[in-house]
Amino acid sequence: MASDLRFNNITLIGMPGAGKSTVGVLLAKLCALAFTDTDLLIQTGEGLRLAEIIQRLGIEGFCDLEARYLAGLPDGAGVIATGGSVVYRPEGMARLKDLGPVVYLNVPPAVLSQRLGDLDQRGVIHAPGQSIAALHQERDPLYRRYADHVIDCGDLPPEPVALRIMEQVAAGSNF
């Protein structure tokens, strides 16, 4: 099916714990594309964990930094797994959309809560005391605004999600 795909990049967006990195690695293998995890790119470039970067720069500073890293992504980045906060900077999302289709992995808050531990330790951008459900409610409209495709993942394992992405992106449809 990889030969049916007429692009060099697919970007995965969604909440922390949605499976962007896990699905992204599998999708890259299935499509014979490179894999880029923007959170790892930032951590490697800055020499710090995300939580430490957020603590030093604050939320706005981190989002600006994230947008700068996105601006530097090469055209052949392959499958790109982003941080959940990527949708807070329109210029970053514009770059990702220039690279190819953007896919929102939509996972219900109840499933996310089971997958995630301490949001602060994971380096998740959120207001103090904000719940996963409230964060999902805040970000969902942004993810949908920028997505070319929405995949309702539920609690599906990574492989069916990756196959669904391939089918939807190859068909050019959206669900």
**Integer Cα distance of 75 and 150 in angstroms:** 23
Which are the contacts of 96, defined by CB distance < 8 A and separation ≥ 6?
11, 13, 70, 73, 80, 82, 86, 102, 146
Is 79:29 a contact under the CB 8 Å cutoff? no
- pLDDT computed for residue 103 by the predictor: 97
8-170: which CATH number, 1.20.1250.20, 3.40.50.2300, 3.40.50.300, 3.50.50.60?
3.40.50.300
**Residue 23: per-residue pLDDT:** 98
The pair phi, psi for residue 53, each rounded to 5°, is -65, -45
How many CB atoms sit inside 10 A of residue 122's CB?
16
Q: Measured in whole angstroms, how far is the alpha carbon of residue 8 from the centre of its chain?
A: 17
Q: For the chain, which ranges sit under pLDDT 50? A: 1-4, 174-175
pLDDT of 161 reads 96
Strands (E), 18-100: 35-37, 78-81
